[in-house]
Chain A
Amino acid sequence: MITQKLNDQITRVGPGTSAGEVLRRYWQPAALVDELTEERALVPVNLLGERLVLLRQQDGNLVLKTRIASADEAPAFYPEPDAIEIVEDSPAYPVIEKKGMYFAYMGPGEPPAFANFDCFRAPDSHVFAFKGLWQCNWLQALEVGIDPSHASFLHRFLQDEDPENSYGRQFRDKAAHTDMPMTQVLREYPRPDIEVEETDFGLKITALRHMDNDLTHVRVTNQIFPEAICIPMSREMTITQWHVPIDDENCYWYSLFTSFAKPVDKQVMREQRLTEHRLPDYAPLKNRANDYHFDPEEQASLTYTGMGLDINVHDQWAVESMGSIQDRTREHLGRGDAAIVRYRLMLRKAIKAVETSREGALPMRDEATTAIVGPLSNDAITATGEWLAASQAADHERRAECPWDATV
């Protein structure tokens, strides 16, 4: 449990707020490259409580400018270009394109360099970008991503699918070097030991599921400061996902799906996700207003939630059902929440650093940032005593087979 004052401090994002000023020290995903077209040369961007528009200036540079918005506009409002009115004397936030996404810098001074993460280092053919709207505060959206134990419950499948039909889907692969579907590992071993380690980019989170016959399943996921995660999706792909505030009570997830060996089949990836979202605001078709298509019979027989096979919908339900800003004055964190506790300490430290003008103390804001590679993000099954070496070996093996430079 934390105080209301602290909860406000770590969740609210408008200009001048504690967490908002930390987020403004980092590049923020602002739009997908798909959104800016010849027909739509002005793209509405609702970001960190500000009403903005993405446009290309006469000098060719992309920027975000402020647009005129009425107070009663919906948070993710997406006006047509001819209805957008730009505030000419507003600041022009710099924007750059990376891997199918536009990133904007809304903070003071020079923007930081990008780390050399796999999602940025892989060629365009190996990275696919998408986004989706969640109706809740960004922090609870991030916190579900740094909580390794929920996967054994929220994403539980009471029956396993054939992993051969798993392309582009989370948790449908076989667990590393076994014939066991990941869904079975998660279901049968629900009490992971969780190790959390601070790194130069954020947190390395290791979930150890001790199995029969002295074997251990090792799943490594990461928190990338301030608001992203990097997790394994399958043996082939990782997901780097940002939880980007629209305002205090709404956010977008932006994901870069990054493939090691084979190019990403972007058409399949896009079609899978477009059947689950509407354009132009990327709102999910299953949502609070329709009970996420909750089906009690399915909950009894097939999935833990009764909300279908798409794990993204399960996460969306979990975080939206907490309320627009989770009331952390009433929470009871357990040992399974170790990474959440650690992350909040990092965020508070960063808030303090900004407030006391010690910006050098913020992670990933100096020249050394470009030397950051990885992160290691994978599943491995190994003899219990050798899990650390085995996890690293499995990662190296995958990187060695990769046609692009994925060395770490």
Chain B
Amino acid sequence: MGAVMEKSTEETNATPPDAWVRAALASDLDIPRPVIPITLFGQSLVLFRDDEGELGLIGRHCPHRGADLCFGRREDNGLRCPFHGWHFDRTGQCVEQPAEPEDSTMYKTIKLPSYPLMEKDGVIFTYMGRGEPDDDTAFADPSLT
């Protein structure tokens, strides 16, 4: 219980900086089902750890009809929407649509927004700025999020 209700997050629609921003504490995911909602820069996202222990930060609403993936089934190394079983990996790529006909390849064209993540000193950071982060990418002032 309580795994899904969002903790108080300051909602801001400001443009994300070209820097690593704080997404969560690593301890926030020290729960039996490591799946939590996060709102960053006005975007509703879901942060989770997959079966390989890797982190994913992807769009919160299923691209099919908008159901909330924070209640998704954490299985098969990703998140599965409970509405029709659409399955997403940690990059947000849809890898299975088990209610669609066997010959359908629609899933290949479906991808949720996703953001790179890194863990440092017990904090999970994400990069939502322009382009890709590199070794020189700075850490944003924590007050930004």
Give chain A's interface residues, CB within 8 Å of chain B.
140, 143, 149-150, 152-154, 190-193, 291, 293-297, 299-300, 304-306, 314, 317-318, 321-323, 326-327, 330-337
Interface contact A323-B98, CB-CB below 8 Å:
no
Determine the chain A residues whose CB is within 8 A of the CB of B102 once the complex forms: 191
A274 to chain B, nearest CB (A): 24
Note all chain A residues with C-beta closer than 8 A to B85.
152-153, 190
Q: Which of B13-21, B64-72, B134-142 contacts A (4 or more CB under 8 A)?
A: B64-72
Top 5 nearest A-B pairs (CB, nearest first) are A321-B68, A322-B66, A296-B33, A149-B99, A153-B85
6 new A-B contacts at CB < 8 Å, known A332-B110, A337-B65 = A150-B83, A152-B85, A192-B99, A304-B73, A330-B61, A334-B97
22 CB contacts below 8 A, A to B, read A150-B83, A153-B84, A153-B99, A154-B82, A291-B2, A296-B33, A299-B33, A300-B33, A314-B82, A318-B83, A321-B66, A323-B66, A330-B61, A330-B66, A331-B63, A331-B66, A332-B63, A333-B65, A334-B64, A334-B97, A336-B84, A337-B65
Known: A153-B84, A317-B71. A327 touches B104 (CB 8 A): no
CA distance A291 to B71 in the complex (A): 9
Complex contact B71–A322 (CB within 8 A): no
Question: By CB atoms of chain A within 10 A, which of B63, B67, B100, B101 has the most?
Answer: B67
Alpha-carbon distance A354/B81, docked complex (angstroms): 38
When chains A and B are docked, how far (Å) is the Cα of A15 from the Cα of B66? 28
**Is residue B95 within 8 Å, beta carbon to beta carbon, of the partner chain?**
no
B135 to chain A, nearest CB (A): 35
Instruction: Verify A294–B1 contact, CB threshold 8 A.
Output: yes
**Residues of A contacting B61 in the complex (Cβ-Cβ under 8 angstroms):** 322-323, 327, 330
Instruction: Say yes or no: is B106 at the interface (Cβ < 8 Å to chain A).
Output: yes
| In the bound complex, CA of A291 to CA of B6 (Å) | 10
Interface size of B as a range: 20 to 34
Q: Residues of B contacting A299 with CB < 8 Å?
A: 33, 73, 82
Partner of A305, one of B71, B104, B110: B71
List the A residue with the shortest CB-CB distance to B109: A332
**Using a CB–CB distance below 8 Å, which chain B residues touch chain A?**
1-5, 32-33, 61, 63-68, 71, 73, 81-85, 97-102, 104, 106, 110
Bound: A45/B110 CA distance, A = 42
B82 to A291, Cβ gap below 8 A?
A: no
List B contacts of A190 (CB < 8 A): 85, 98-99
CA of A314 to CA of B106, assembled, Å: 26
Task: Report Cα–Cα, A335/B102, bound state, in Å.
Answer: 11
B5 interface neighbour in A291, A295, A327, Cβ under 8 Å: A291
- In the complex, the answer to whether A334 meets B82 with C-beta atoms within 8 Å is no
Q: Is the CB of A322 within 8 A of B67?
A: yes
Write the chain A residue with the least CB distance to B2.
Answer: A291
How far is it, in angstroms, between the C-alpha of A326 and the C-alpha of B106 when the chains are bound? 21
- Residue of B65, B71, B101 with highest tally of chain A CB at under 10 A: B65
Question: Cβ of B81: which chain A residues have Cβ within 8 Å of it?
Answer: 153
Give every chain A residue within 8 A of B33 (Cβ-Cβ).
Answer: 296, 299-300
Pick the contact of B71 from A294, A330, A332 — CB < 8 Å?
A294
CA distance A337 to B3 in the complex (A): 31
| Pairwise interchain contact B73-A330, C-beta atoms closer than 8 A | no
Q: How far is the CB of B40 from chain A (nearest CB, A)?
A: 18
Q: Which chain B residues lie closer than 8 Å to A192 at the CB level?
A: 99
Asked whether A291 lies within 8 Å of B98 as measured between CB atoms, the reply is no
